[in-house]
Structures are given as structure tokens and as C-alpha cells.
Amino acid sequence: MKKSIHLALAVSGVLTLAACASSGSGSGSSSGPVGLVQVAAYTGDQAFEAQFADSIDFPALYAVNKAGGILGRQVSLIQMDTRSDPADALLAMDKTLATNSDVSGILGPDSTSAATLVPLLNSKKLPMMIAAGEAAYDRSAYSYLWRDVPPDPANGEAIALWAKRQGYTRVATVFGTDPGSQGDLPGVVTGVKAVGISLVDQENLTPDQPSYRSAAQRLLAAKPQAIITESDGPTAATFFGELTQLGSIVPIIGTSGTPSTSYFTPLRGAIGDANFNKYFRAVVVGNPVANPAVPAFNAAVLAVQGKLAKPVSQWENNSFSESGYDAVIVLALAMDAAKSTDGSVYNTYIMQVTAPGPGKQVVYTYAAGMAALAAGHQIQYIGASGPILFNAFHNSFGAQAVEEFPANAPAVVVGTISQAAVQALNG
């Protein structure tokens, strides 16, 4: 019995020490590097996220550290692998927070892990810049949750508006059945109905099958004028390759989840470069109007190009990467403004460094923002993705760009869908 009591005391002592060690995760330590945790799928079936995360993290950290870091401390990146699984993500986050005392902010979670990680991170008072588009976060009560990308329905609705603008009256959807590809589908469906376009066929594809010929044939029989799509690259290549073999290809409009080499390379191979250049467009999140933050972002991308997936041109002017990059800069500037890396302190400053206001100095780079704050000014950071105007629920999204993608060259903006137009669609 005595031995059992000693053992119980020893175990409880160890647990108490562990709890003490992990309790610092919400406050960040006061010396050493400032830790930012990137939550992404580095392995598993969503591992394509990793190259997107890299295209955000490395340029942003380069920009912040080159300017002197946060409050004189360099920023370190902690890559946390969700393994494409929400349960694995929770375990990984527990381990990350228990073994890193310098965590001050979170880049993520993604769609896969948000449901399990957001409540935990919020309770730890860790500001998080989520990359999950789920509508559940449109009006969330999580005070440490921030999102500078549109919710999934907004992208789908922008696509519907673009289709309407092109004069299409009959469209079809082709989406992968994996969770990462399904997010935009509800917005597309409601959007096309709202603008008066007929949705003549809906194909949901189980990824990585050897053939989708029957689905392709059924889609052709419905005679759509355009196809709205999101899936992984190999699935898209098989489907659209077979569609091309069976009949004539029609314009394809991709969601903001499609622009990446892992999507473009197989699709180009399947339908041919000429068809790809002629027919493929994507409606992407981000700022279609150039401002001084854009060249700063592109310069940072080029400075760290050795760490990014090739070709590096895919990341220049990449709207998704720009939004993520801006999220890091905003967190860093909020910490500078609050003079603290403690999440519970600097969280309210996130709104302060992004909102417009009289007398505020507009800045487009981290270095300029840091200098202005040091000089005692209040600032509004306008990023490579445009102005970041958080609402009461910490959501911000601006205009969306319609882009085409020449081979081995940066994307070209061919149209714009304003936030007002999307909001008008929702009444």
C-alpha cells in the first residue's frame, strides 16, 4: 500500500511538473526566439499542403527576421505535422506545446485539423491565423481565432459570379470526395442557383481511381458550357484526360484550392498545354490590385527560393501564399505593438494594426511597420493580399481574383470579383 502511495505521489508530481512546463505555451517565454507553429499536413493524403505552408512561412520569416525580428528576438518556425488526420493533429499539438516553451502564435489550423485544434488553442490563449474555410468559423465565439481568407462559400459564390459574367447558363461541377476538396462545393451550388445558372450535372469523384470514364460520359451528356472543379491533381488529370478523349473539352474554372504545381502538372499532361492555357482559369483568394506589399512579398519569395517547391514562379503573386504571409506579418506587428509575445496580451492588437483609422500610418512591409511603431505611430498594415479588415468575428476577406496560369510564369489576373458582389449575392 505504501509503495502504491509513493508511486501515486511520484506520478502526480511528474504530471504537475509537466503541466507547469506546458502552461507556458500561452504566454511565450521572454527570451530566446519567438516560436510560431505552422499547422499543416506534412505527411498523409493532404501532404500537398506542405509546399503551400513553406511558401508562406519561409518568405514571412525571412521578412521579419531580416528586419530584426520581434522585439529584438528572431522568429523560429515549428512545423507541426497533422498527418492529415484530426486525431493525430491533436496529439501532435499537445506534444508541440509540451516540448516548446516559446510558442507565441499559430499559423493554422487547416480544414482537416481545425475542429480538434481550435478549441484547444483558444483555451491556451494562443492567437491563431486559421486557413480553414469552413462556414463554422464565419461567426465563431473563439476570441483567439483570426481568418484573413474568405470562408469556403465565398470562393464558390465568386466562381458562380464569374461564370455568370462569362455568359454561361449551364455549368457542371466535378469535385473530389475527400474533405479537402469538398469545402467550396456548397458555395458553388448555392451561388450558381442564386445567379440563375442551371447546374446540369454534379460529379463527385473518389480520388485515385483508375478511371472515371462513365462519370465523364455522363457529364458530356449533360452538355455543360463550363465545369467548376476542385480535386487532387491525379484525379483531375484522369478525369479531364478521359473527358478530352471522349469529346470536346469546355472551359474549366478551378477553386482557390487548385492553383499549385501538384495540380497543374498532371492536368497539363492530361489535357495538353494548349487546352490548359485556353480553358483553365481559377478564382483565387487575394488582392488583384498591386500595392507596395506585393513586390516585398515576391522579393522575400525569391530570397528563400531554395527552400520552396519548384518552380518558384508558382509562388510569386500567389494569392493564397500572400494571405498566409500577411497573417504572419500581422501577428508579428501585433506583438511589436503590444510589446509582448504573450497571446493574451497581443491578441487585441491584431485588430489595432490592421484596421484603418484617423492618424494611422499605412505600412506595406514588416520593416516599415516596426519602424513606425518604434517611432510611436499607430499603424494600418496593408498586405500583399490587400487591406485586412477584420469584422467582429475576426474574419476578413477582400476581392477575389480570376487568374490564368502560363507555363513557368507567374499567374496573370484576368478578372476581379469584389467582396461587395459576393455579399450582395447573399442578400
Long-range CB pairs of 353-361 (<8 Å, 24+ gap) are 353/379, 353/380, 353/381, 354/330, 354/380, 354/381, 354/387, 354/388, 354/389, 354/390, 354/396, 355/380, 355/389, 355/390, 356/380, 356/387, 356/389
Pick one of 19, 98, 193, 208: the residue that binds other proteins (CB under 8 A). 208
Binding mask 261-280 for other proteins (x = CB under 8 A): xx--xx-xxx----------
The stretch among 60-68, 98-106, 260-268, 396-404 that binds other proteins (CB under 8 A) is 260-268
By the rule CB under 8 A, 23 interacts with other proteins: no
* Shortest separation between residue 258's beta carbon and other proteins, angstroms: 14
Give every CB contact of residue 367 below 8 A, 6+ residues apart in sequence: 63, 66, 67
By the rule CB under 8 A, 17 interacts with other proteins: no
* Shortest separation between residue 43's beta carbon and other proteins, angstroms: 10
By the rule CB under 8 A, 211 interacts with other proteins: yes
The DSSP line for 222-289 is T--SEEEEE--HHHHHHHHHHHHHHS----EEE-TT--SHHHHHHHHHHH-HHHHHHHEEEEEES--S
C-alpha–C-alpha distance, residues 410 and 427, integer Å: 35
Q: How many CB atoms lie within 10 A of CB 379?
A: 23
Smaller CB separation from other proteins, 14 or 246: 246
C-alpha–C-alpha distance, residues 127 and 350, integer Å: 9
Smaller CB separation from other proteins, 42 or 297: 42
Do residues 396 and 147 lie in contact, with contact meaning Cβ atoms separated by under 8 Å?
yes
- Binders of other proteins among 27-56, rule CB under 8 A? 47
CA proximity to 46, closest of 95, 9, 86, 99? 86
The stretch among 63-71, 93-101, 241-249, 341-349 that binds other proteins (CB under 8 A) is 241-249
Binding mask 158-187 for other proteins (x = CB under 8 A): -------------------x----------
Smaller CB separation from other proteins, 219 or 296: 219
Task: Give the burial string for 286-301 (b: 16+ CB within 10 Å, else e).
Answer: bbbeebebbebbbebb
The stretch among 117-125, 233-241, 319-327, 417-425 that binds other proteins (CB under 8 A) is 233-241
Pick one of 10, 21, 98, 246: the residue that binds other proteins (CB under 8 A). 246
Pick one of 215, 293, 296, 425: the residue that binds other proteins (CB under 8 A). 215
Amino acid at 35: G
Long-range CB pairs of 5-14 (<8 Å, 24+ gap) are none
- Binders of other proteins among 285-304, rule CB under 8 A? none
* Shortest separation between residue 197's beta carbon and other proteins, angstroms: 21
By the rule CB under 8 A, 123 interacts with other proteins: no
* Shortest separation between residue 143's beta carbon and other proteins, angstroms: 38
By the rule CB under 8 A, 352 interacts with other proteins: no
SS3 at position 92 = helix
Smaller CB separation from other proteins, 23 or 43: 43
Applying CB under 8 A, which residues contact other proteins? 47, 177, 203-206, 208-215, 217-218, 221, 233-234, 237-238, 241, 245-246, 261-262, 265-266, 268-270
